[in-house]
Chains A and B, each alone.
Chain A
């Protein structure tokens, strides 16, 4: 089914109604496997058992940036191709991305206390992720500030694309500045430096979180399509009463 056929909301609802139960099952299975692997992973020689926070913190952080990239793609769909479901996708993804960013900040802070001795530090990576969180909240505020969803969509699309400049800053901040947050160990030019015993559970958890995002996103998109139908019906009803 091509993207242009999926632009029809009814077809989209039909397709996701069929796909969503399988996605939920897949997410649950991979999450359970990932959690089992994370809990049975060996202790780090230096950090002990607290290294296992990494299996929750890092996927959340990856997802927080991935969701902004998904929203940027949706923003391009709105501005360039006027795809009808692109703005539904963008609006549905924003709160989910904000939640992932918040979880990344909180789990990172809890990990920082035993590791670095502080809950918070104004270094480049933490500050830029905090700014990403503020931008998510600003985006959600902009969505809510305009009555008509399709006009809000275009404004939010511009803001999403402007904010996408923060993503490379976050990714490379640990290389550009002397920071407390450790440099990249997985996505780097020389390949991952993480040991297999930690790398495998981390990648499985990353897959689980990505499936979780996909499930939540499709479910939220369905809700948004239904919400707009309700709004259209309410407006028709108000129009009939006035006439």
Chain B
């Protein structure tokens, strides 16, 4: 148990200190949201209507961007091999790394959401709904993205391939996240149903992600 706790602590420290890993994702999220009114025009009602979808897309792409640093840095300096050879099962080590990555990169996105919702003319209830769905959905994005990150870790130019592999798997998360946000805002359909499915998808990815990532890492590291 302490080995995994040490791994989480190490990853959190690296993410928060070195190279701005944690905040780069938030900066990208902010830049994307700022770009939207330039593309769509400053029509405030339109932005408010599209707000949840824009916030979710921004969070999805920001997670995708920070995902390759999940394994790449450790692979380059050899610590990934040490982690794989350690006594903790590789599945649990991958889960620990993904948890640390979510705490460092996913939670800042959720915290930034109210500010960005204000930029998009969303009212408080709407922003709260989007932030809640993002809180539940960003672990799913991290854990499903981990599968692609593990597949791409051994490729030298893996960055874009990682995005291509991960995006089809993230589509259900996006669908249910936006559906839950919209249901909370515009109302007639119940919020509970898509939100429950989003929670279910998150929980499934918490289980499948580490197993698939560990299998990919094992074949990639030998």
Contact = CB atoms under 8 A, between A and B. Distances in A.
Interface of A: 79, 131, 134-135, 137-138, 141-142, 145-146, 151, 154-155, 158-159, 161-163, 166
A131 B155 contact: no
Indicate the size class of the contact surface on chain B.
10 to 19
Interface stretch (B72-80, B87-95, B163-171): B163-171
Tell me what chain B mostly uses at the interface: helix, strand, loop, or mixed. helix
Interface stretch (B47-55, B129-137, B214-222): B214-222
A146 B154 CA distance: 8
Contact of B168 (A134, A141, A145, A151): A134
A131 B220 CA distance: 26
Interface in B124-177: 147, 151, 154-155, 157-158, 161, 164-165, 167-169, 171
A155 B155 CA distance: 11
B46 interface: no
17 contacts: A135-B168, A138-B165, A142-B151, A146-B154, A151-B219, A151-B220, A154-B216, A154-B219, A154-B220, A155-B154, A155-B216, A158-B219, A159-B151, A159-B165, A162-B147, A163-B169, A166-B168
B208 interface: yes
Given A142-B151, A145-B161, A146-B154, A162 B220 contact: no
Interface string B198-213: 0000000000100010
Contacts, number: 51
B219 A142 contact: no
A143 to B, nearest CB: 11
Contacts of B220: 151, 154-155
A151 B219 CA distance: 7
B171 A131 contact: yes
Given A162-B208, A162-B212, A155 B158 contact: no
A134 B170 CA distance: 13
A159 B165 CA distance: 8
Which of A135, A141, A155 counts the most chain B CB atoms within 10 A? A155
A158 B216 contact: yes
Given A145-B161, A146-B154, A159-B147, 19 more contacts: A79-B215, A131-B171, A134-B168, A138-B161, A138-B164, A141-B164, A142-B161, A151-B220, A155-B154, A155-B216, A155-B220, A158-B147, A158-B151, A158-B212, A158-B216, A158-B219, A159-B151, A159-B165, A162-B147
